Structure 1
Amino acid sequence: LRTKGIMFLDHIITKDNAYLVEYNEIKAQLEHKGDKDVRKCVGTILNYRRIETHLNHQSLGPIKQATKDNLIDWSLSAKWFDYNGRNDTTTIAHSKDTKWKIRCSTFSLPTKDILHQNFPLLLPADKLNCFFCNNILETNDHFWTCLQLRTTIVNIFKKLGQDLIDILANNADKHPLLINDSIKYSKTFRWAFQNEPIHPVVLLLMRSYITRDLVGIFRSHFNTTKAITTFYYHSSIIVV
């Protein structure tokens, strides 16, 4: 199990997603810890239980595979899903933000294939091709990779990359001379600047997951995880 990366309810993924830890093993470790450490460890276990529940969604096969490939930073992704960038916890805007994150991350945006399943009489089977290219069935997968949208997405990521360069230049803790290269040659942005095929980590980012590649950029220029998290929440790089 530890070599195959199979997840079960009685197993917990380690923080680095490298292998699985059995519950009995965790329980034995907790018996030797103080009360504060126990609460912290139990909280970590519950967080990974939440992740496992999320991955069990019927449409999340690609996300489960991305997890096995170690492309997603689940700790920061969980914080991002819970993050409220509005001034009030009950605003309509925050509800819309949360709805967008949920629908993107669970492949449930109202594309034509889903609308047809829910309203077959209103949207017949012969009208399900992509609204933009009109050549391929419109699905949540196709939505982000449609060739008619590529230029738009490329321009967005070029702008985000340049904005990130400017922001890091003013806020980075270290290696200021490497900022330009660390962004333009990262998996997240290189494809846009070099006109390459879109990288899988980009699709994950657009679906509201925080990728390890993006975190790696920030770790190259910030000294602490707290600084990285604060930067995420106060910059405009991650767009809802």
Structure 2
Amino acid sequence: MVNNKALSPIKQQIIDGDIDWTFTKEWLNSNDQDALCSAKLSKQQGNRIKKCNFIYPTIDIQQCNYPRLYPLGSIPCIECANAHDDNMHVGLCREHSNQIKNILTRAAHDLQELIMKNTKDKNFTVKDIIKTTPLFDISFVDALPQSHPGYLLIHHLVPSDLTKIFNIYINDKKLRFSLFSKFFSTLMSSIDTLIWTRRASLIKQWENTLSITKNKKRFYRK
């Protein structure tokens, strides 16, 4: 995994054990749909896997797949225009900074309420622990640092920082996974809406100016 070129943006986090692979697997396989199997579920889970493997179809990948449709050369980020548009840049873009801070602030509040509601000993240290957890540190200036645990979240990977809190306060394994799933689903919905979906909308607008359509991609022949 460390030698996987696509995962080079998070190589150090992998080496340092910053990713909880057990909870990540739970998230990637989770199903919030009514049916056990459906096209919508397959697409949802497929998108998660692509994002965490840094192979989601960002502009650089689209450019490789449809070279005659896209401009030649390096295409800059649609939002900031200061970096190459690729998977690694998603979350690091300075245009995402305020959204990420808002997401993490809300998540810290929701997590505190969730833990307090479901822990028996009512240990009030949870507020301080969450506050000092690197994942919820929003003191960064300008863009999110690549070493920040929030970068893992953006790419649908579960930071160990987060699961440590669940492990400390929720002893029952079944309840722990259930609460985590509920919390993480809400958190990732915000990330997808405010980061990925917003970004996709801007890219689509840009593609329209170049007359790049879904049908042209569908019937593209190399």
User: What TM-score results when the alignment is normalised by the length of structure 1?
Assistant: 0.69
Counterpart check, 1:229 vs 2:177: yes
- Paired residue type of 1:234: K
How big is each residue's C-alpha offset from its partner over 1:14-62, in whole Å with a ceiling of 9 and x where there is no partner? xxxxxxxxxxxxxxxxxxxxxxxxxxxxxxxxxxxxxx5xx66441234
Aligned to 1:75: 22
RMSD: 2.2
1:124 aligned residue (71, 84, 87): 71
4+ residue segments displaced more than 4 Å: none
Q: In structure 1, which of residues 206, 210, 219 is the aligned counterpart of residue 158 of structure 2?
A: 210
- Residue 21 of structure 1 corresponds to none
TM-score by length of 2: 0.74
The letter for the 2-side match of 1:118 is N
Give the Å deviation of 1:127: 6.7
Structure 1 partner of 2:119:
172
Give 3-state SS (helix, strand or coil) of 2:158's partner: coil
Paired position in structure 2 for 1:239: 188
Percentage of pairs with the same residue: 26
Between the two proteins, the alignment pairs up a number of residues equal to: 185
Q: Is the 8 A contact 1:164 1:237 kept in 2?
A: no
Aligned to 1:150: 97
Residue 8 of structure 1 corresponds to none
1:54-98, Cα deviation, whole Å (9 max, x unpaired): x66441234454222111122222222222122212233322320
Structure with the larger RCO, 1 or 2 (CA within 8 Å, 6+ apart): 2
Q: Structure 2, unaligned stretches of length 5 or more?
A: 190-222
User: Aligned AA for 1:150?
Assistant: S
